[in-house]
Amino acid sequence: MATPAKKGFYRQEIQKTTWDVPVRYTGLTPVGSGAYGTVCGAIDQRTKEKVAIKKLYRPFQSLIHAKRAYRELRLLRHIQHENVICLLNVFTPDSSPDTFQTFYMVMPFVDQDLSHIMKKGKLTDKMISYILYQILQGLKDLKPSNLAVNQNCELKILDFGLARHAESEMTGYVVTRWYRAPEIILNWMHYTQTACEAYSF
């Protein structure tokens, strides 16, 4: 039998995934999903603003997943830049360290990601220049689905799960495969020693 939702939380099934969220966030609707998590839109009843809530898939299933989740959380909390998505809140439905299995991150809701806009083919030269400028303003894992754009063509960089400090030897997995620069592929474990993104545009 499933355990009841924690006090002050409610439970909802979304696309075969159980979400336990505080009652302040209402109207959960699926927005998208990726390799590491799912995002839902919701209304924050305290601020009356639309927010995006990200639930990571089993963030503590391995040491690598736990480090990735921790890095993303720290970066979102500390980076303050107009072109980087910010962290509004973090919560867990788990009531003790012994049962701590998951957490959710709350961020501002942004209309759509750049990959959706590109598929519609509605980008003018002026819009492309403005978006590119904002990407360069913000700058590991840049790809259209990690770039959110609102109706005013203002861009926010999303998803810091793969970001990290430079170390002498890094993990081999860096950047979504189809968006890797040649220098990352060729210098597999030492990719901080070369300049990246030279070919990404």
Same domain, 97 and 117: no
Q: Do the Cβ atoms of 53 and 12 come closer than 8 Å?
A: no
Q: Are 15 and 32 in contact (CB under 8 A)?
A: no
**Do 116 and 197 share a structural domain?**
no
Cβ atoms within 10 A of the Cβ of 93, count?
22
Among the three residues 108, 125, 150, which one is the final residue of a domain in this structure? 108
Number of domains forming the structure of the chain: 3
- Residue 143 belongs to some domain of the structure: yes
Residues 6+ apart with CB under 8 A from 134: 83, 154, 155
Confidence bin at 56 (pLDDT 50/70/90): confident
Q: Say if residue 54 is in the same domain as residue 131.
A: no
Q: Is there a binding annotation on residue 6?
A: no
65 lies in a domain? yes
Higher local confidence (pLDDT), 135 or 98: 98
By annotation, the residues acting in catalysis are: 141
**Residue at 3 is within a domain:** no
| pTM (2 d.p.) | 0.67
Res. 169: pLDDT tops 60: no
Query: How deeply is 167 buried, as exposed, middle or buried, from its count of CB atoms within 10 A (0-12, 13-18, 19+)?
Result: exposed
Domain span including residue 135 = 110-160
pLDDT digits (tens, 9 = 90+) for 94-107: 888 888 889 999 99
- Domain co-membership, 125 together with 187: no
115 and 104 inside one domain: no
Highest-confidence range of 30-34, 72-76, 92-96, by mean pLDDT?
92-96
Identify the pLDDT of residue 54.
93
CA–CA separation, 6 and 20 (whole Å): 8
| Same structural domain, 142 and 127 | yes
Same domain flag for 99 and 114: no
DSSP character at residue 109: -
Q: Which residue has the higher pLDDT, 80 or 185?
A: 80
Asked whether residue 23 is assigned to any structural domain, the reply reads yes
